[in-house]
Amino acid sequence: MAGHSKWNNIKRRKGAQDAKKGKLFMKHAREIFMAAREGGGDPEMNANLRLAVDKAKSNNMPNDNIDRAIKKATGDLDGVNYEEFTYEGYGPGGVAVMVKVLTDNKNRTAAEVRHAFNKNDGNLGENGCVAFMFNRKGYLVINRTSVEIDEEELLLEVIEAGGEELESSEDQFEIFTAPEDFSEVKSVLEENEYTFETAEVTMFPTTHTHVGEEAASKMLTLIDMLEDNDDVQEVYHNLDADEEVLEKLS
């Protein structure tokens, strides 16, 4: 996971400045819709739906919005049908990029994603061209600045709950799990009265591509363009750059 914390912290700060609640809630609604359509509308019986709902609530999405998305998926309300796709390619400087989308118009979304890549010196590739560079992991972040936490005790609790790894920094603890163990680890730690700043199953690069300031700047612009697209749910990448460069660009 080396290099993840540095980029993740900068991305989080930038995201907090740029976030638009309407777009964010729309993305959550689509994710909830897909999870409920595929696995049923009961979060207790549908782990993917439970994760999607927890993620939405962590961003203060109203319960009414969450319930409406579930009802649309289960046929209680009229709604559009979404399809899920993942686009893969390379950004400026050869940075590997994966783009997860939920769309009701594949042709429109494909054209917009391709335009974002082309405009920023990147190019889309075939399915599988970069997927092998990423691993899917459960990811939990505990803020350590607001409450005193014994690191050794937390490590033991993470191991006992089935977690794979604990990383600590001055501001936070990062916990990594196998995807199938994420819900159990999260539940056990919640029972032990830990609260999470981030809790999700996401993709992590196995290697990183180091680039200079010019390529890093274009890569950040590419990420912004993709994340501003209503159809884009997640953008994964293996960008690495000197911390001073990322601080300057953020």
> What CATH number is given to the structural domain containing 51?
1.10.10.200
- For residues 201-226, b (16+ Cβ closer than 10 Å) or e, as one string? bbbbbeebbebeeebbbbbbbbbebb
> What distance lies between CA 153 and its chain's CA centroid?
28
Identify the three-state secondary structure at position 105. coil
Dist. CA 49–CA 39, nearest whole Å? 8
List CB contacts of 241: < 8 A, sequence separation 6 or more: 210, 211, 212, 213, 215, 216
Domain membership flag for residue 39: yes
Q: Which residues of the chain have pLDDT under 50?
A: 1-3, 6-7, 9-10, 12-18
Domain of residue 49, residue span: 4-73
Instruction: Output the pLDDT for position 78.
Output: 60
Domain membership flag for residue 11: yes
Name the domain count of the chain.
1
Instruction: Output the pLDDT for position 17.
Output: 44
List CB contacts of 76: < 8 A, sequence separation 6 or more: none
Domain membership flag for residue 88: no
Instruction: Output the pLDDT for position 5.
Output: 52
Domain membership flag for residue 29: yes
